[in-house]
Amino acid sequence: MLFLHEFERIEAEAFLTLAAEMIEEDGIVTAEEDALLEDYAESLGIVGFTYDAAASAAARDTLAQLNEVSKRKVYMELYSFAICDEFEDPAERRALNELREALELDEHICRRLETCAQDLFSVYAEIEDVLGAEPSPISVEK
């Protein structure tokens, strides 16, 4: 996913900082998570992004200044980072709850966004399965 196309550089860097923080929450950074972060950095036009844990509070403050829809996008995208390794660690849930509170987002709406992200991941997985599927052994003649 990438619903953050309207972000200016400072907002994009703030998002990437929190995304990096999210993938480190469970203590394990997978190759998939690292690649996802690189893809987002490239899509957001941030070359050479490096994570600075000390910048996390400032990143939250920057993103808290966004409009409601943009804050919801941030939450949904960061949730995607939390589940991209196919499970949600309790530390990631705590971080998501803290983020929701920092952005002053409605819990019900955040749960709905999480469901949307899960559904989208399922569709992406199904597409990957179909793209890699072997041809059917049954031939249909016309």
Confidence of residue 103 (pLDDT cuts 50, 70, 90): very high
CA distance 113 to 13: 22
Helices 68-83 and 107-131 meet at what angle, rounded to 10? Answer: 50
Phi, psi (deg, nearest 5) at residue 90? -55, -35
**What single letter denotes the amino acid at residue 104?**
E
Residue spans of beta strands (DSSP E) within the chain: none
**What single letter denotes the amino acid at residue 36?**
L
Contacts of 8 (CB under 8 A, 6+ apart): none
Indicate the domain borders of the chain.
Answer: 9-130
The CA R_g of the chain, rounded to the nearest whole Å, is: 17
**What single letter denotes the amino acid at residue 50?**
T
Q: In 3-state terms, what secondary structure has residue 104? A: coil
CATH of 9-130, one of 1.10.3680.10, 3.40.50.720, 3.90.800.10, 3.90.550.10: 1.10.3680.10
In tens, the pLDDT along 107-131 reads 999 999 999 999 988 898 899 889 9
In tens, the pLDDT along 29-44 reads 888 889 999 999 999 9
User: For the whole prediction, is pTM greater than 0.75?
Assistant: yes
